[in-house]
């Protein structure tokens, strides 16, 4: 199909279009008063039949990268939802959980909650009426791609008309700095950028391409759909997630667009990446801690996070062969709590137990167990 996009050279920017674009670029997770009634319809989709700490779900959605939050997300196959709702307030979240309990959708199990049979039916219902942005993935940085793309399109459109005086669609200085640097190195060839966008949009489903095109700010109306409400910003995040997948899969065919996006983000902080590099070179936790002048517990957290995110970790350095086999045998015997596994293999440290737990979880998920 022909991309519905790029007639950037055609029209004047209308203030209403600019306001609409800024509305759709607002930070996801800022819950308006009128939206709180439907919050439970979204949150229920993060609970299941297995007991789970409510605050673990809150931590995941607001972007807390504690090991406990990440491990719980791995167990429930929800890592991609990290930071989906960064401005979700604790009191709004807990009010919604209490509401779900009153409806009989959630029940208490000690300090955890789990779905009831009625809750499972409700989750199935709302997953159709209030779907989550299924193409969202924290590592794809869809929010970052969104702000950079909209600003870059505006910059190129205005540059085409030799106009240096306009209100940027994104006010964030860091985004403006990124796009300015990108334009200097990759954006001056306007037609090449246009071709990248046409190529990318042609890979998208037509409704997704049209949705994104209709929100571009420039000298031309680009899409063929009306600007319908996207109160939570999730339709935009979903579309940007799809676009990020396309760009990542076809980097060589759209170099300028890939550079604008910047590629997937590394979920490990810089120190965590260094810890992982050193352990994979064969250094022990104690040696890494001494080299980096950090506590061993901090290095342990770096290594756990790397394993949870599926990064290669040199287990031979951290786990003697016999201990690894014993820990896997404990898992295969049905032991899941780290305390029960440690009781079976008392010489194992918490780090060693957790690394094997993560390894076994990932293997089971890969095989659909």
Q: What is the CATH number of the domain that holds 102?
A: 1.10.10
Do 114 and 227 reside in the same domain of the chain? no
Domain of residue 78 covers: 33-129
pLDDT at 165: 87
Do 252 and 274 reside in the same domain of the chain? no
User: Any residues with CB less than 8 A from the CB of 76 and at least 6 apart, and which?
Assistant: 46, 48, 50, 52
Q: Is the pLDDT of residue 358 over 90?
A: yes
Structural domain contains residue 4: no
Do 157 and 257 reside in the same domain of the chain? yes
| Three-class secondary structure of residue 242 per DSSP | helix
Please tell me what DSSP assigns to residue 15: H
Structural domain contains residue 167: yes
Residue 78: closest CA among 128, 146, 134: 134
Give me the number of domains the chain comprises: 3
Do 172 and 224 reside in the same domain of the chain? yes
Do 171 and 255 reside in the same domain of the chain? yes
pLDDT classification of 8: cutoffs 50, 70, 90 = very low
Give dist(CA 249, CA 284) in Å, integer. 36
pLDDT at 214: 85
User: Half-sphere exposure (CA, 13 Å, Cβ side) for 299?
Assistant: 24
Do 274 and 344 reside in the same domain of the chain? yes
pLDDT classification of 280: cutoffs 50, 70, 90 = very high
Single residue among 129, 163, 193 that ends a domain in this structure: 129
Structural domain contains residue 202: yes
Concatenating the DSSP letter of every residue in 126-148 gives HHHHS---TT--GGG-HHHHHHH
pLDDT at 18: 41
Do 202 and 283 reside in the same domain of the chain? no
Residue 162 falls in which region: left (phi positive, over 0), alpha (psi -120 to 50) or beta = left
- How far CA 249 is from CA of 174, 197, 252, 263, in Å, comes to 26, 14, 9, 11
Structural domain contains residue 5: no
Give dist(CA 363, CA 369) in Å, integer. 9
Contact of 351 with 285, CB cutoff 8 Å: yes
CATH code of the domain containing 332: 1.10.10.1390
Indicate the pTM of the whole model.
0.86
Q: Is the pLDDT of residue 33 over 70?
A: no
Structural domain contains residue 87: yes
User: Half-sphere exposure (CA, 13 Å, Cβ side) for 301?
Assistant: 14
What is the average per-residue pLDDT within 17-25? 43
pLDDT at 166: 86
Contact of 123 with 115, CB cutoff 8 Å: yes
Do 99 and 146 reside in the same domain of the chain? no
Do 358 and 215 reside in the same domain of the chain? no
Do 113 and 142 reside in the same domain of the chain? no
pLDDT at 4: 40
| Least reliable range by pLDDT among 63-67, 160-164, 330-334 | 160-164
Q: Is the pLDDT of residue 183 over 50?
A: yes
Structural domain contains residue 235: yes
Which contacts qualify for 85-91: CB closer than 8 Å, 24 or more apart? 85/28, 85/29, 85/31, 85/61, 86/27, 86/28, 86/29, 86/61, 86/62, 87/27, 87/28, 87/29, 87/30, 87/31, 87/62, 88/29, 88/31, 88/58, 88/61, 88/62, 89/31, 90/58
Single residue among 129, 147, 164 that ends a domain in this structure: 129
Contact of 111 with 53, CB cutoff 8 Å: yes
pLDDT at 216: 85
Structural domain contains residue 279: yes
pLDDT digits (tens, 9 = 90+) for 118-141: 999 999 999 999 999 999 999 999
Structural domain contains residue 2: no
Single residue among 129, 164, 189 that ends a domain in this structure: 129
Query: In whole numbers, what is the pLDDT of the chain averaged over residues?
Result: 88
Which has more pLDDT, 165 or 33? 165
* pLDDT > 70 in the chain, percent: 86
Do 163 and 243 reside in the same domain of the chain? yes
For residue 186, the tally of other CB atoms under 10 A from its CB is 18
Do 38 and 22 reside in the same domain of the chain? no
What is the average per-residue pLDDT within 159-167? 87
| Three-class secondary structure of residue 114 per DSSP | strand
pLDDT digits (tens, 9 = 90+) for 138-158: 999 999 999 999 999 999 999
Which has more pLDDT, 321 or 272? 272
């Amino acid at each position: 199909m022909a991309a519905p996009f790029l007639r950037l050279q055609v029209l004047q920017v209308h203030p209403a279009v600019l306001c609409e674009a800024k509305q759709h670029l607002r930070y996801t997770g800022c819950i308006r008063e009128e939206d709180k009634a439907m919050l439970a319809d979204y949150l229920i989709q993060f609970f299941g039949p297995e007991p789970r700490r409510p605050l673990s779900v809150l931590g995941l959605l607001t972007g807390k990268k504690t090991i406990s939050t990440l491990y719980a997300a791995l167990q429930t196959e929800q890592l991609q939802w990290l930071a989906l709702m960064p401005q979700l307030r604790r009191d709004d979240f807990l009010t919604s959980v209490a509401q779900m309990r009153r409806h009989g959708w959630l029940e208490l199990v000690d300090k955890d909650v789990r779905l009831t049979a009625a809750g499972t039916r409700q989750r199935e219902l709302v997953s159709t009426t209030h779907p989550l942005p299924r193409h969202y993935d924290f590592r794809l940085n869809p929010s970052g791609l969104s702000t950079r793309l909209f600003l870059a399109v505006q910059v190129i459109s205005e540059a085409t008309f030799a106009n240096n005086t306009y209100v940027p669609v994104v006010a964030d200085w860091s985004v403006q700095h990124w796009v300015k640097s990108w334009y200097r190195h990759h954006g001056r060839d306007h037609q090449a950028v246009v071709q990248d966008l046409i190529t990318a949009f042609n890979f998208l489903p037509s409704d997704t391409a049209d949705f994104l095109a209709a929100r571009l700010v420039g000298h031309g109306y680009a899409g063929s759909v009306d600007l319908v409400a996207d109160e939570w910003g999730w339709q935009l995040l979903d579309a940007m997630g799809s676009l990020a997948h396309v760009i990542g899969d076809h980097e060589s065919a759209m170099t300028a667009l890939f550079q604008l996006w910047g590629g997937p983000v590394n979920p490990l902080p810089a120190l965590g990446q260094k810890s992982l590099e050193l352990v994979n070179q064969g250094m022990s936790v104690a040696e890494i801690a001494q080299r980096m002048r950090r506590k061993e517990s901090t290095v342990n957290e770096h290594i756990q996070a790397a394993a949870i995110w599926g990064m290669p970790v040199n287990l031979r350095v951290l786990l003697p062969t016999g201990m690894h086999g014993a820990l896997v045998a404990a898992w295969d015997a049905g032991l899941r709590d780290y305390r029960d596994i440690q009781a079976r293999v008392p010489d194992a440290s918490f780090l060693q137990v957790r690394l094997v737990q993560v390894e076994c979880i990932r293997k089971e998920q890969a095989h659909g167990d």
